[in-house]
Amino acid sequence: MKYLDEYRDPELAKSLLAEIHRITTRPWTLMEVCGGQTHTIVKQGLDEALPEGVRMIHGPGCPVCVTPLEQIDKALAIAARPNVIFTSYGDMLRVPGTDTDLLALKARGADVRIVYNPLDALKIAKDNPDKEVVFFAVGFETTAPANAMAIAQAKAQGIDNYSVVVSHVLVPPAMTSLLDSPTNQVQSFLAAGHVCAVMGWTEYEPIAEKYRVPIVVTGFEPLDLLEGMLMAIRQLEEGRHEVENQYARAVKREGVPLAQKQIFDVFEIGDRTWRGVGEIPQSGYHLRPEYAAYDAETKFEVGDIHTLEHPACIAGQILTGEKLPLDCTAYGTLCSPQHPLGAPMVSAEGTCAAFHSANRGLDARRVTV
């Protein structure tokens, strides 16, 4: 496919890796923010091909993983109601809540439907005026324009039986939260290319300046990632800390203004809890007061949620890059994509799932368990 295949060329990958080896004189620790990037890095073994001492830490950019347990339990409580059609992106269905997940609810008779585009959820609401249609509006800045459009269209078209459970998170506050941590090891970031396609990169400039960290806006193909790593390491080696754009074919400095306008027509920024990480100030979108009628949490009054994580799961430390899946006693034993204990094992963007699908460390586990 055009704009994909040419960025997977093994010969060019070899050149990029050689150049990374050539310019690297010291150990460096980089973080790729986005789970999609983690998936490619682990699947292709790019991290294992880097010079000794250069380490990739896998970041928290997995929307499914960081959606707080409380929001999942609320979604489950709403989905279980008799008159509700609950709609969601497919990868939320197997994320474990405290007691169950959406797929299990569906098996027990709840009307849970997968949608690819939130406008499809809106169409379901239009076609089923006697039902309440609820959409699980999760994701980073990438999904926000789509989720915002569906809500704005519900209002514009007077579709009152559509509402949303919102759990939107933002990348820049998560990066500063990591950098503020006393245990932070990250010296440079590969910023998430598609988040920046929407939002641009001006928000990252003060972060690079204040924390003196190079930030490279990076794409998702193997060559994009290797070039992003090369640009980040070159900055580190030269003592620079700028925002650079590797993913120029898709990202402009100002992003996509029309998408940003739609986001801020519907949402406002507020505090948000990240699963496994805790509350990060000003790190999420909430519905603006003029869209309160579309808030499923108030429409269905789901109070009194008592959440409980599985005691063996170390998802929080995985998400912040403090630990690797191989550090978890449950990885590949109690916890697998078939029986996930935590969200990072569910999503294609989760670090645990990326390790598991690349078969990392699984043979040893099978021998010892």
Partner 1 sequence: MCLGIPGKVIELRDDGAVLMGKVDFGGIRKEACLAYTPEVQLGDYVIVHVGFAISKVDEEEALKTLDVLAQMGDVVSQELETMGPGMAEPAVLNDDGTPASGALTGGAEAGA
Q: Which of residues 25-44 bind partner 1 (CB under 8 A)?
A: 33-37, 39-40, 43-44
The least distance separating partner 1 from the CB of residue 39, rounded to whole angstroms, comes to 6
Considering only the stretches 267-275, 310-318, 321-329, 344-352, report the one whose residues sit in contact with partner 1 under the rule CB under 8 A: 344-352
Q: Would you state the structure tokens that stand for residue 268, as one six-digit string?
A: 């406002």
Strand 162-169 to 278-287 pairing: antiparallel
Q: Would you state the structure tokens that stand for residue 66, as one six-digit string?
A: 């960081």
Closest listed residue to residue 344, CA positions, set 356, 333, 334: 356
Q: Which is nearer to partner 1, 11 or 304 (CB)?
A: 11
Please work out, in degrees rounded to the nearest 5, the angle formed at the alpha carbon of residue 148 by the alpha carbons of 96 and 193: 75
Q: Would you state the structure tokens that stand for residue 126, as one six-digit string?
A: 């239009």
Q: Which is nearer to partner 1, 51 or 128 (CB)?
A: 51
Match 């586990």 to its residue by tokens: 365
Q: Which is nearer to partner 1, 7 or 291 (CB)?
A: 7
Query: In sequence order, what are the residues at sequence separation of 6 or more whose Cβ sits closer than 8 angstroms to the Cβ of residue 285?
Result: 144, 166, 168, 170, 263, 267, 268, 269, 270
Interaction mask 131-170, partner 1, x per CB under 8 A: -------xxx-xx-xx--x---x--xx-------------
Question: Given candidates 68, 96, 97, 118, which one binds partner 1 under the rule CB under 8 A?
Answer: 118
Q: Which of residues 58-77 bind partner 1 (CB under 8 A)?
A: 61-64
Residues 57, 31: contact at Cβ < 8 Å?
Answer: yes
Q: Which of residues 278-337 bind partner 1 (CB under 8 A)?
A: none
The least distance separating partner 1 from the CB of residue 26, rounded to whole angstroms, comes to 15
Question: Given candidates 104, 114, 179, 348, which one binds partner 1 under the rule CB under 8 A?
Answer: 348
Strand 162-169 to 132-139 pairing: parallel
Considering only the stretches 201-209, 246-254, 270-278, 294-302, report the one whose residues sit in contact with partner 1 under the rule CB under 8 A: 246-254
Question: Given candidates 248, 292, 293, 308, which one binds partner 1 under the rule CB under 8 A?
Answer: 248
Question: Given candidates 69, 87, 91, 93, which one binds partner 1 under the rule CB under 8 A?
Answer: 91
Total Cβ atoms within 10 A of residue 29: 16
Please work out, in degrees rounded to the nearest 5, the angle formed at the alpha carbon of residue 211 by the alpha carbons of 178 and 285: 50
The least distance separating partner 1 from the CB of residue 291, rounded to whole angstroms, comes to 17
Considering only the stretches 126-134, 250-258, 290-298, 322-330, report the one whose residues sit in contact with partner 1 under the rule CB under 8 A: 250-258
Match 């499914």 to its residue by tokens: 64
Q: Would you state the structure tokens that stand for residue 92, as one six-digit string?
A: 């939320």
Taking every pair of Cα atoms in the chain, the longest distance, rounded to a whole number of angstroms, is: 66
- Cα(186)–Cα(312) distance, rounded to whole angstroms? 26
Q: Which is nearer to partner 1, 193 or 316 (CB)?
A: 193
Question: Given candidates 104, 358, 361, 365, which one binds partner 1 under the rule CB under 8 A?
Answer: 358
Interaction mask 192-231, partner 1, x per CB under 8 A: xxxx-xx--------------------xxxxx---x----
